[in-house]
Amino acid sequence: MANWGAAAQPGPLGVHTSANSRLFTFIGGETGNWSITATRRITGDPWTPAKKLMVVNGPASDLAGAKWLLRGVTTNERYVTRADKNELANRQEGLGRCDAVHAALIPIRKTAAWWALTQDERRSVFEEQSHHTAIGLKFLPAVARRLHHSRDLGTDEPFDFLTWFEFSKSNADAFDRLVADLRATKEWTYVERETEIRLVRD
């Protein structure tokens, strides 16, 4: 194999990852900085509980004791307008805040009907009918989040999206209202599988 077209070192079959990977791997098992306090089925098949979660920026390297792994990439936004994006940037705070010791990982899979919609139809459901961005903005900066896409990894992933949320103990109620508001939207009628994994930082 000669030309991989990238600076990173290729591994087997040319699968290689750069130092600044957009790939994140969530490993549920016996080790990690986060303790899983609840694994709650919201819609569809349940997910396997585990004790601890390890979050890796890149591919998984150590799967000793792992019960499951979920993978996703951060990528360009698919629906927000420039006005939305600026407003979000002004109000959100980063992950890793000292007092944000509570977290949630919410994997979601949307229906085939959702993916058969065109971009304008999905945008209409997402924002004009469901006010997804506006709901999220109401809970900024209390609830910080990072969205990962799993659908186009090229492998059979069990979910389309993984969203990671961090918040302080006093903002746990705000987080519960956020997800309740989203689950009441038209957009959520296109969710066929959802699990809510709640965690506390060790």
DSSP for 3-62 reads ---SSSPP-GGG----TT-SEEEEEEES-SSEEEEEEEEEESS-----SEEEEEESS---
Nearer to its own copies, 145 or 193 (CB): 193
Could you give the 3-state DSSP secondary structure of residue 118?
A: coil
- Whole-number minimum distance, CB 124 to its own copies, in Å? 10
Q: To 5 degrees, how large is the angle CA 19–CA 78–CA 68?
A: 55
* Environment class of 60 (CB within 10 Å of its CB; exposed 0-12, middle 13-18, buried 19+): middle
Question: What residues line the site for its own copies (CB under 8 A)?
Answer: 1-8, 13-18, 21-23, 45, 47-48, 59-60, 63, 66-69, 71-73, 75-82, 84-85, 115-121, 123, 149, 151-159
Shorter beta-carbon distance to its own copies: residue 29 or 178 = 29
Nearest to its own copies of 99, 152 (CB atom):
152
Q: Quote the least distance from Cβ 151 to its own copies, whole Å.
A: 7
Q: How far is the CB of 176 from its own copies (least distance, A)?
A: 25
* Bond preceding residue 59 cis, omega within 30 of 0: no
Please state the closest distance from residue 172 (CB atom) to its own copies, in A. 27
Q: Which is nearer to its own copies, 99 or 121 (CB)?
A: 121
> Rounded distance, CA 70 to CA 57, Å?
12
Q: How far is the CB of 81 from its own copies (least distance, A)?
A: 5
In the complex with its own copies, the residue whose CB is nearer, 10 or 94, is: 10
